[in-house]
Amino acid sequence: MSSQTLTVNPASAQKPSLESMLRGKFGQRAIQYLVLSAIAIICLYPMWWTLVVSLSTTGNVYEFPPPLLPKGASIDNYAEVFKTINVMTFFKNSLAITILTLIGTIVVSSLAAYPLARMRFPGRNLVFSAILATMILPSEVNFLVNFITVSKLHLTDSYLGVALPNIVTAVNIFIMKVAFEQVPGDLIDAARVDGASEMQIFWKIMMPLALPALGAITILTTVTAWNQYIWPAIVMQSPDNFPLSVGVLYLSGAFSFKTRVVAAGAILTILPILIVFIFTQRYFLRGFDGAVK
Amino acid sequence: MKRKSTSVQSTVQAYLFLAPALILLAVFSFWPVGYGTYLSFTKYNLISAPEWVGLDNYRELFDDELFLNSLKNSLLYLLCVPIIQVLSIALAVLVNNNLKGIKLFRAAYYVPVVTSVSVIGLMWNFMYNDEGILNSVLQALHMINEPIGFLSDDRIALFSVMFVTIWRGLGWYMVMYLAGLQAIPQDVYEAATLDGANGWQKFWKITVPLLMPTILLCSVLSTLAALKAFEEVQIMTQGGPSESTYTALFYAYQFGIKSLDFGRGLAASTIVALVCMALAWVNFRYLQPRQK
């Protein structure tokens, strides 16, 4: 904080009262920052506490007041996570599930969005309404039948079984449709005159121009696929196939008395996605512009 | 004749583009609704063929204290909806400001949204512990003598889980409202200022009405989210203590996936689906901005 703004010239006739200071522009700012910081602490404190505990090696875990920085900082707890559970396998599983879901989502939603945005055909409105209607029913309601379907298809305990039901979401198709609608019509007409097929138009004109939207669904899908918990927990039966989000609870179930180790496992689970978030946060924070309007 | 053939051809093409999405939707979104409803009238355990039992599953559900309690908890969970709405609108107004570093705050508020629910459940188990930070602070302030069993007291546990649901959703709704706020043209506010409106009047007469489409969307989405809440329960309390945190979908999961009683589980989730649709309808009916 700069001291200049706080200094009150003693020679001036009177000191501003606390009330008038709070009414002033400076005071308003100060209150705003105070409120903003208080909320930030509520949002971030659980993560910070977990990080501190995971890096500490001495003292009571639930010491009060809790230390703001780790005591006896070391990565011993992390080493123990690696010894206790197969972190690298879980990591590989998370990665495989995420990549599979991501590729499927990009391909399937952009293919579906193209005719909805740019072609006239009978049943177009019906198809679009049907896609939007899936937003009303929570996918959790479908879990039981989807579990039956996945077991009948012999996809339990497989990456594909986790990924398949998550590939089509109305939101992603919607985002791509809005992006395709914004491509100038002249461009497409010119390509058609030159004899380009629909597939060529889609691949050579639409996709490159929709890169920002593709970026947005890439990030959204990556985060969702990495973080999902209940569906992979249902589909995956052998612990060797668990993604990190499920594996970390396995750790906590088996070693609940080792709070520091569990905390380290939690940090390892969220670290990759937090790094992705830090570099791409503007995509999240811009809001779902298209979807809201 | 030629025109007709091209239009048939382009229709075929359109559906070829749509085919992968439609097939996946049919299998994983529409089939579950139909087949699930059918199975809810049967006894089915995944091994032997489904056996038609009519309304038996539903009758059993409504005779089952546990289910009635789960349904009550799911409806109680709807308390989250107005709380999330009010808090996230306030938060959006607060961060829709050109303060220095405001983007950092927005990002901070969004961190819980990108965190896996399993890790969030773990972290809040730490926070809610008898010796955890919440109890320690309350004790240090002499507000309580004994630690509160946030997750072990059957009168409180459900509310503790609901708090976590609110905590982890707030940033997401904030961003939705932020987008809504930023779409409101500034000159409307300037005109109102010239007419002598104060901040409060501007909020109620301009911001809220113009935000109505977003309020409708968020209230539908948070209603559905509240009704489908059960991952938090599964991770933090497993339905306990003494089954006080069962929600309707947790019940469906327990009977369906855990006990392989799909008929009973699907009857429970069919009821949740019906409640979802009814409440979505109520939202549209009462929050839709009146057309002039």
For chain B, give every domain's residue range.
Answer: 66-287
B15/A contact by beta carbon, under 8 A: yes
For chain A, domains (ranges, CATH) are 21-74 (no CATH), 77-292 (1.10.3720.10)
| Chain B residue with minimum CA distance to A67 | B133
Give the model's pLDDT for residue B285: 87
Give the model's pLDDT for residue B291: 54
How near does any CA of chain B get to the CA of A8, in Å?
A: 24
A257 confidence band (pLDDT: 50, 70, 90)? confident
- Residue A269 and residue B220: Cα distance in Å, rounded? 31
On the question of pLDDT at A9 being above 50, the answer is no
Length of chain B: 292
Average pLDDT score, chain A: 87
The third-level CATH classification (topology) of the domain covering B66-287 is MetI-like fold (1.10.3720)
On the question of pLDDT at B82 being above 60, the answer is yes
Worst-scoring range by mean pLDDT, A11-15, A236-240, A255-259, B272-276? Answer: A11-15
Per the CB < 8 Å rule, is B32 touching A146? yes
Distances (CA, A) of A140 to A186, B114, B121: 43, 19, 18
Task: Report residue A227 CA to chain centroid gap.
Answer: 7
Mutate to test the interface with B, among A285, A286, A288, A289 (most CBs of B within 10 A): A285
Helix (H, G, I), strand (E, B) or coil at A237: coil
Task: For the beta carbon of residue B250, count every other beta carbon within 10 angstroms.
Answer: 25
Give the model's pLDDT for residue B225: 92
A4 confidence band (pLDDT: 50, 70, 90)? very low
Please say whether the beta carbons of A5 and A26 come within 8 A. yes
Worst-scoring range by mean pLDDT, A134-138, B39-43, B47-51, B149-153? Answer: A134-138
- Tokens 């969030």: give the residue: B120
Give the model's pLDDT for residue A1: 39
- Residue B151 and residue B93: Cα distance in Å, rounded? 33
Worst-scoring range by mean pLDDT, A90-94, A96-100, A283-287, B139-143? Answer: A283-287
- Best-predicted range by mean pLDDT (A24-28, B164-168, B177-181): B164-168
Per the CB < 8 Å rule, is A62 touching B113? no
| Chain A residue with minimum CA distance to B210 | A293
Per the CB < 8 Å rule, is A142 touching B29? yes
On the question of pLDDT at A13 being above 80, the answer is no
- Residue A81 and residue A265: Cα distance in Å, rounded? 6
Average pLDDT of the segment spanning A1-11: 44
Task: Closest CB to B107: pick one of A50, A273, A281.
Answer: A281
A290 confidence band (pLDDT: 50, 70, 90)? very low
How near does any CA of chain B get to the CA of A129, in Å?
A: 12
Worst-scoring range by mean pLDDT, A3-17, A121-135, A179-193, B159-173? Answer: A3-17
Which has more pLDDT, A89 or A63? A89
In tens, the pLDDT along A90-145 reads 999 999 999 999 999 999 999 999 999 999 899 999 999 999 988 877 777 889 99
Give the model's pLDDT for residue A287: 53
Please say whether the beta carbons of A125 and B33 come within 8 A. no
- Residue A161 and residue B262: Cα distance in Å, rounded? 19
Percentage of chain B lying above the pLDDT 90 cut: 80
User: How many CB pairs below 8 Å do chains A and B form together?
Assistant: 268
Give the model's pLDDT for residue A26: 81
- Residue A171 and residue A219: Cα distance in Å, rounded? 13
ipTM over 0.95: no
Per the CB < 8 Å rule, is A289 touching B266? no
Contacts of B13 in chain A (CB under 8 A): 115, 119, 198
Worst-scoring range by mean pLDDT, A58-67, A124-133, B54-63, B113-122? Answer: A58-67
Give the model's pLDDT for residue A23: 67
Per the CB < 8 Å rule, is B119 touching A245? yes
Task: Closest CB to B106: pick one of A45, A147, A285.
Answer: A285
Per the CB < 8 Å rule, is B179 touching A144? no
**Between residues 99 and 138 of chain B, which touch chain A (CB distance below 8 Å)?**
99, 102-103, 105-124, 126-127, 129, 131-133, 136
Residues 6+ apart with CB under 8 A from B272: A138, A141, B74, B227, B228, B248, B249, B252
Maximum pairwise Cα distance, chain B: 87
How near does any CA of chain B get to the CA of A292, in Å?
A: 6
- Residue A288 and residue B180: Cα distance in Å, rounded? 10
Give the model's pLDDT for residue A232: 96
Per the CB < 8 Å rule, is B131 touching A62? yes
Worst-scoring range by mean pLDDT, A1-10, A180-189, A197-206, B229-238? Answer: A1-10
> What's phi and psi for B190, nearest 5 deg?
-65, -45
Give the model's pLDDT for residue A17: 67
**Between residues 224 and 283 of chain B, which touch chain A (CB distance below 8 Å)?**
224-225, 227-228, 230-231, 234-235, 249, 252-253, 256-257, 262, 265-266, 269-270, 272-273, 276-277, 280
Contacts of B283 in chain A (CB under 8 A): none
